[in-house]
Amino acid sequence: MSDVAITADPPKKKGFFRRLLKWCFWLFILFILLIAIVAALIFRVPHKLGLIPNVAKKHMVLTPDREGARRILKAAIKRGMPAKGVNLYVIPYKKGDASIILLHLDASEGFKFNAKKSKRGPIGDTFVQVASGSEVQGLGIERVSMVYFSKYGKDLMTMSASRSDILQYANGKLTKKTFMEKVDGDINLPAMIDEQIQTLKKYSKTKDETLNKLSTKERKALKGLLK
Amino acid sequence: MKKLRLFSLILPFVFVLTACDKEDTDFVMDFANDWMIEKGMMYKDKKTGEVKPTIKAGLVATGWATSGDPKVDAALQAGYVIKGVKESDELVDKAQEDMAKKPPDSSKALEKLDKAVSNRPNDWYYKNSRGTTYLQMGNVTAAESDFKAGEDNCQGNSRCLLALYRDRTSQLTDLKDQQTANNQNAADCSTYTHLLASKRKLRGMTTGSIQKAHTAEIRQLMSNQASCKKGK
């Protein structure tokens, strides 16, 4: 009887710590898993793996209207849109009843917004330059989508607006605020963060290069000034 | 003097800062910021004045947000479509380079064109290109099969067919000119035949002065085809 009592006590203590350790371990694993899931969602892994059906794959499969695209691009450039680093596609929707303009603005290929001051801002201006001309009529254009690629080759943002909204905005019937509310968009968060990091790195490099050009005396004087 | 010295020290930094001042990315970031506030994805904290994201921003950032309209959702995945079209167009350009080599590297060209067709199976443009390449290789049956498949992609849509015949006519005219230059005599009979057929279909769909111009061109093509057949 006494043998049983002696052997029963010590394992109780060991079991408690073991269980606590086990719980900590599983909590840690759960925490890592949660981080991994959030990261996978932000980096859009399910989309990349094809686990979530691509709507564009379903709706924009027909042949682009290359001739129409050439005409629209030419007219938009005449209206002030920069010509370098721009690709424009007119793609009919699957049923062929309407089309969409896909505007590809690529800073890595030399695209730069026209920074001329305007009420609409450079992005609003680009929407209007592309969709407001007579050359768009007869092509059944319903929407304009704009994809901006940064100078590091990442797609930062996609913005899309219906042609009727763009026309109303161009004619002053819609305010900037109302137009913004009507614009649909998608933002590539990881690419935006990466872009900021790259810009900071570049800035820090330029700063170091400028500092290196200064003499020791000048550097000391600058440090004192900054203090 | 001391002030001048300080000014000369600060000046390079001013240039560096103004160079980074308003870049294109800033326009995009500013627009994205304004847009997210208008759409309720971000809000301004009244106490601190800081801009903070909402759950809606998380949904957009992870690609789970939907507008409810499949056409709009498709429009937001435009990057995917652009990438596909660009890649396939580049494959066609490279295939044309392979075919322009002396002697033409037809197997490599076909490999690229097959990939372009499989990337965008409902796009007749790549079938026109592959069909023309088959014609250049002398494989008339495969060319006709591609031309027919391309027409099927249009599903009877007249605007689509008009663009298809225009493109095919242009591609076959280039081939005819290339063959004429290489042979210093005349193009292959099959090129004339298919170019003639394409021009006739195009003429059938157009009107006015274009029709007259095509008639003269078609007459010329018919005589070329007849002399080509006689020569055989």
Same domain, A12 and A101: no
d(CA A72, CA A135): 6
Q: Give phi and psi for B47, each to the nearest 5.
A: -75, -55
Q: What are the tokens at B160?
A: 């689509």
Task: Give the residue numbers spanning the domain of A63.
Answer: 55-194
CB spacing of B78 vs A207 below 8 angstroms? no
Q: Give the residues of chain B that fall short of pLDDT 70.
A: 1-24, 65, 184-186, 207-214, 229-232
Q: Could you say which DSSP state residue A64 is in?
A: P
Same domain, B125 and B179: yes
Q: Is residue B39 included in any domain, yes or no?
A: yes
Same domain, B35 and B107: no
Enter the ipTM.
0.73
d(CA A92, CA A95): 8
Nearest residue of chain B to residue A177 (CA atoms): B38
Same domain, A45 and A63: no
Note whether B158 contacts A: Cβ–Cβ < 8 A: no
Cα distances (Å, whole numbers) of residue B47 to B38, B145, B170: 20, 70, 66
Number of helices and strands (H, E) in chain B? 11, 2
Tens of pLDDT, residue by residue over B214-232, are 677 777 777 777 777 665 5
Cα of B28 to nearest chain A Cα, Å: 8
CB spacing of B76 vs A185 below 8 angstroms? yes
- Measured in whole angstroms, the distance separating CA B209 from the mean position of its chain's CA atoms is 29
DSSP code per residue over B67-122: -S-HHHHHHHTHHHHHHHHHHHHHHHHHHHHHHHSSS--HHHHHHHHHHHHHHSTT
d(CA A157, CA A151): 13
CB spacing of A192 vs B16 below 8 angstroms? no
| CATH code, domain carrying B112 | 1.25.40.10
Q: Is residue A215 included in any domain, yes or no?
A: no
Q: Total domain count for chain B? A: 2
CB spacing of B62 vs A143 below 8 angstroms? no
Does the pLDDT value for residue A205 go beyond 60?
A: yes
Q: Give phi and psi for A189, each to the nearest 5.
A: -60, -50
Q: Total domain count for chain A? A: 2
Note whether A122 contacts B: Cβ–Cβ < 8 A: yes
Q: Determine the 3-state secondary structure of A77 from DSSP.
A: helix
Place of tokens 């097959």: B114
Q: Is residue A130 included in any domain, yes or no?
A: yes
Same domain, A44 and A60: no
Tens of pLDDT, residue by residue over B95-131, are 999 998 888 899 999 999 999 999 999 999 999 999 9
Task: Give the residue numbers spanning the domain of B116.
Answer: 75-231
